[in-house]
Amino acid sequence: MLLKLIPEFSNPSVCMKDPQRVQDIMESMAKAGSNTVQVISDFDMTLTRFAYNGKRCPTCHNILDNSDLVSEECKEQLKELLDTYYPIEIDCSRPVDEKLPLMVEWWTKAHALLVQQRIKKDHLALVVRESDAMLRDGYQLFFDHLHEHSIPLLIFSAGIGDILEEVIRQAKVFHPNINVFSNYMDFDDCGVLRAFKGELIHIYNKREGALLNSGHFEELRARPNVLLMGDSLGDLNMADGVQDMENILKIGFLNDKVEERKQSYLDSYDIVLVKDETLVVPNGVLLYLTGNK
């Protein structure tokens, strides 16, 4: 029955622990109508590709780290931080409480190093254009369809908001239905980076970020049905600010270390996409929810 609803679910990358539950959620959301739906998504390695032709694609931080705006010495220091903290981030055996202070440490050190580089705001667009950052295949349909149906898209990212927005703008899909919660750069009057604004958003405090931005969710009170998309277990809390939620369908991209992490993803996400570099499945879900199937 589920395959009849969404033919894209026949894709070999699709794994589900409880297909009946997925069907029930989708039918309930479709019945309520697309004007009750909102989409909450991570950015790096969720809306963007994890790899292309066997080569890792850059995250928002990587785009800057790999650019000419950052000195070789700084690049080495950022690489050392990555090598130290990334294995901790993806280690399923460590409790989140233990990881939390370490993630804050990583992001704080990385941002301090970037501030030292005196990066200029008007150089960011070129850095993005010259990078290997890529939105996932099917992004045009995803962004345009949400816009056409006036479905709000909240992008919740531990990356750099200025870079993230530029990636979407250059793909010509930065529509007015998009809101971004992320780490934004603070530039001085000469357009030079002097700090990062506001509260630090990292991979494991998205719940706090969601609750801090409760005003956004208050405006969307009439949209109690959520499609959530992420690539880490930390992304599962992004919808915690949604008020009076009725249904949530969680799609997780499992990009890396598949065998070690597959079970924990299946236990947490309704649909798990294994090494799938496309938005074909989310698009299939959206087409169904908007009555286009």
How far is Cα 136 from Cα 134, in angstroms, rounded to an integer? 6
The token duo for 71 is 């000195």
- Identify the burial level of 172 via C-beta atoms within 10 angstroms of its C-beta, where 0-12 means exposed, 13-18 middle and 19 or more buried: exposed
Strand blocks (E) in the chain: 14-15, 37-41, 51-52, 55-56, 153-160, 178-183, 185-187, 193-196, 225-230, 247-254, 271-274
φ and ψ of 290, to 5 deg: -100, 10
Fill in the DSSP letter of residue 243.
Answer: T
Are 113 and 79 in contact by the 8 Å Cβ rule? The answer is no
Residue among 42, 65, 162, 276 flagged as catalytic: 42
Residue among 44, 231, 235, 270 flagged as catalytic: 44
Catalytic, 44? Answer yes
Catalytic, 42? Answer yes
Residues 6+ apart with CB under 8 A from 264: 92, 233
Q: State the greatest distance between any 2 C-alpha atoms of the chain, in Å, as a whole number.
A: 59
Q: Which amino acids are annotated catalytic?
A: 42, 44
